Each structure stands twice: as structure tokens, then as C-alpha cells.
Amino acid sequence: MNPIQKLAKNIASFFGSQIISYIIGFVFTVYLVRYLGVENYGVLSFALALTNILLILADFGLNTLMTREVARDKSLTQKYLNHIFSVKILQVSILVSLVILFVKLVGYPEQTVFVLYFMMLYLVFSTLSGIFPALFQAYEKLEYQSIAVVLNSLLMLIGVFILINYNCGLLMFTFLYAIVSSLVLIYYLFIAMSRFKFPKPSLTFDWVFWKVTIKTAAQFGLIGVFSTLYVTIDSVMLSFMQGNEAVGLYNAAYRIVLLLLFIPGAINVAIFPLMSRLYGSSRKSLEIITEKYFKSMILLGIPIGVAFTVLSNQIIILIFGKAFMESAPALQILIWGTVFTFGNAAFVQLFQSINKQIITTKITFIGMIVNIALNLLLIPKFSYIAASFNTLITEFIVFAMVLYLASRLGYINNGKILIQDTLKIILSSLIMGIFIFIFKDLNLFILILTSILLYIILLFVFKGINDEDINIIKNIIK
């Protein structure tokens, strides 16, 4: 199996599991949102947003560093496993203690307090679980992580249906997250010890190694902290400034957008070890794979942006019902932030692979500051619509900086060709968008299929897909 085929296998495996997972997640989220209503869903969204921030802090780049280093040298596996397990135990303990103290000082309602406490269990189990997919990624064995992704969603689906059937309240739905995360951790431990023959992780203290590891990992960790903050801080700030109803309306649209991010996310997981190995061994290959990754993301991202803009009302009503109709404008705005996120993906992975993660750290810090400043300025007056625009502006700024710096480093040598291809993709997407607008009253499923077919035909007509792209596809299929 050649490297392209191996990469394609890993992408297909994880991509497939993500699709299944998100379909299942989509189903239980719809039932969950409709069952809880705007107010309770707002409380749950706030707790999840806060916990997602804490998950980034609990890891703080350790998983990414371990993946990169073990991908380059498998003999470091046990050393990194023990030390990173130990550091994570320490970090998550500190975070849980701080949250308990924070909850007591703020004086939240009793229900919100218990929701946050249950989420702390979810935080602990998820933090420890994250160690193992990072190792599987380094070994380029993504099938085990793929199974875990589907398992997590299936357990959530079953749990949601059971709790709805027994007419349970918000607290039990929150506790479900903790139960499911604990079962996923047990699965990872079983696979790590039975299939990979890794010894059980043990507490290890080596201050010299910790110091170097934490310092390097912090550069990755800060990327996660800053990007997560400017993505999730909207919900937290909306909760304080506008109340839970605004949080619920904003997150209904944002949930749809997050579903789409599995596309670059799945590719990132598969491509990161390969790009890390190519660094220092084949710069030309690294340049090619980066440019092809970027092109594939805009091939997907731009038509998605156009389609969701035209069909936002139908999508919101179909998924969440008319009660969330006011979320449609937020979806129209947020979807274009997602398009820029698609475009960022290739170059963010590039910087992390070539030991230039500090560039991404600085860029995401700027993005976070811009987003928070805009939220403070505009949310009090324009509520969740402002939060949506602020996310779009932030993603555009990040995209522009990432593209500029990748070019400065010499990893975009075919800029003129990429611009020409992008213009062809935009033209094809706009024509597709006009088609969707004219026939938007058709059955949604039929409209989507015909629009995809039209877009592909237009790409070939305008030569948005060239012979080199076709040869790569043929090479994967062989």
C-alpha cells in the first residue's frame, strides 16, 4: 500500500466514522433540543461550552505533541504515555477544584450548579480518554479511534431516547455525558492493552522532561485555548449579557455549523502524522500535499456556504422546528466563518508539522482578542446576531494571516494557479446557488442531489478540477 493509499484509507476510516457519528449525533441532538426547549437547552449549551474550554486547558497541547513525536519515533511511546498521563491527572485536578470554587462564588441556581458538577465528571473521563486516540493517530491506526467515535454517539443516542421515554429532567441528560465518556475510556484502555500491548499508564515524575514537554506542548495548547475561546466564548458571554434564550437560538445555528467541521477534522487526524514525517525528508512533497489539501477544502467549503445561505430557513425548520426560526440569520452568517475555517485547515496542520506552531499560537491569540472585543462591543445591542458576525470576522482575519504567513515561508509556490482554481470554484458555486434559489421549493433531498451533480459538472466545464487532481484520485482508487 503506497503512502497516498494509506492516507486515503485512514481518511476514509475516520471520515466514515465521523459521518455515522454526526448523523447519530444529529438525531439525538434534534430530539434533545426539542425535548429540553430553548431555556434548558441554553443551560446545557452554557455548561458544554465551559467544559469544552476546560478540556482544552486539561490537555494544553499534550496530545498533539505526543502524536507528532511518536509518529517520528515509535520508541518514545511508553515514555510519553506515562508522563502525559501524569501531567493530565495534575492539570484536570486543578481545573475541577477551580470550577467548584467558581460555582460557589458566583451563586448559580441549584440546577445549573449540579449541571456543572456532572460536567466535571465528563471532563475527567474525556481528558484521560484523549491520550489514546493521540497514540493511535501516531501509529496511523485510526480504525480504533473510528470505532470509539461511533460508540460514543450510539451510547448518547440510546441514553437520550431512554431518558426522554422516562420523562427525565435536565440533570439526568447532563449525567449521561459523564456515563458515556467513562465507557469510552474503558474501551480505549482495552484496545491499548490488548491490541497495541501498551502497559497500563502509570504515574511518573521527571521534572526535567516535564519542563521541556509542557513548554513545547503549551504552544499547541495555547492554539487550542485561543481558538476554543473565540469559538465558545460567544455562548458564555451571551449567557451573561442576553440570557439563556439567546444562547439557545445562537447554538441551534452553531450546532449545524459544528457538524460540518468534522470534514477538515477527520482529514487533520489522518494527515498530521504524514506531514510530520515529511518535514525534513521531502519538502517538495510537503508543499504538494499542503496545496492539494487547501484546494480540496475550498472545493467543499465554498459550495456548502452558498447552499446553506440560500436554504437556511428550510434547514432550521427541518432540524429544530419553527420555534428556532430566528436562528436562520445566524446560520447564514456562521456558515461563511466555517468556509474560512475549511481554508485554514491545511496551513494550520503545516505549521504544526514543521515546528512552527508558535505562528498559529500568535494568530489564534489575535483572533481571540478580536472576537472578545467585538462581543463586548456589539452583543449588548445586537445579541446573537452580533455574536455570529463576530465569529465570521474573526475567522476571516485568521484565514488571511495564515495564508500570508504560509506564503512567506515558501509553502505556496503556485499562488496564481490556486487563485485561478478558487475563482472557478466560486463561479461554479454561484451558478449552483442560483439553481438552488430558483428551485428551493422542491423536495430538499432531491434538490441537494441535483445541486451536487450540477456543481460537479460545472467544475469539469470550468476546469476547476485538473488532470493532476484526477490522477491523484485514480492513484487512491487503484
- Tens digits of residue pLDDT in 12-51: 777 777 778 878 887 888 888 878 777 777 778 888 878 8
Residue 194 in grid coordinates: 490488548
The pLDDT value recorded for residue 473 is 53
In a domain, 394, yes or no: yes
**Does residue 419 fall inside a structural domain?**
no
Q: Which sign, positive or negative, has the C-alpha torsion 293, 295, 299, 301?
A: positive
Q: Considering the entire predicted model, what is its pTM?
A: 0.71
465 occurs within a structural domain: no
Give the whole-angstrom CA distance, residue 298 versus residue 292.
Answer: 10
Amino acid at 112: T
Q: Is residue 473 part of a domain?
A: no
- Distance between CA atoms of residues 84 and 202, nearest Å: 10
The span from the CA of 237 to the CA of 379, in Å, is 8
The pLDDT of residue 55: 84
Sign of CA dihedral 399, 402, 406, 407: positive
Give the model's pLDDT for residue 320: 81
- Region of poorest pLDDT, from 88-92, 145-149, 229-233, 401-405: 229-233
For 389-446, the pLDDT digits (tens) are 998 999 999 999 998 898 888 887 777 788 888 899 999 999 999 999 999 888 888 9
Closest CA to 271 of 475, 68, 56, 478: 68
Which pLDDT score, from 0 to 100, does residue 305 have?
A: 94
Distance, in Å, from the CA atom of 428 to the CA atom of 433, rounded to the nearest integer, reads: 9
HSE-up of residue 77 (Cα within 13 Å, Cβ side): 17
Q: Which three cell numbers stand for residue 168?
A: 427525565
Instruction: Please give the Cα distance from 470 to 431 (Å, whole number).
Output: 23
Domain count, the chain: 1
Residue 469 is predicted with a pLDDT of 61
* 468: in domain: no
Tell me how far apart the alpha carbons of residues 7 and 293 are, in angstroms, rounded to a whole number.
12
Please give the residue range of the domain that contains residue 116: 3-413
Q: Tell me whether residue 163 is in a domain.
A: yes
Q: Does residue 251 lie within any of the structural domains?
A: yes
Cell digits of residue 474: 485514480
Q: How far is CA 368 from CA 50, 204, 230, 231, 320, in A?
A: 16, 35, 5, 8, 30
Q: Is residue 469 part of a domain?
A: no
How many other CB atoms sit within 10 Å of the CB of residue 273? 22
pLDDT at 477 (0 to 100): 44
| Spatial separation of the C-alpha atoms in residues 94 and 124, rounded to whole Å | 11
- What is the overall mean pLDDT for the chain? 83
Residue 122 and residue 454: Cα distance in Å, rounded? 44
Distance CA 261, CA 346 (A): 13
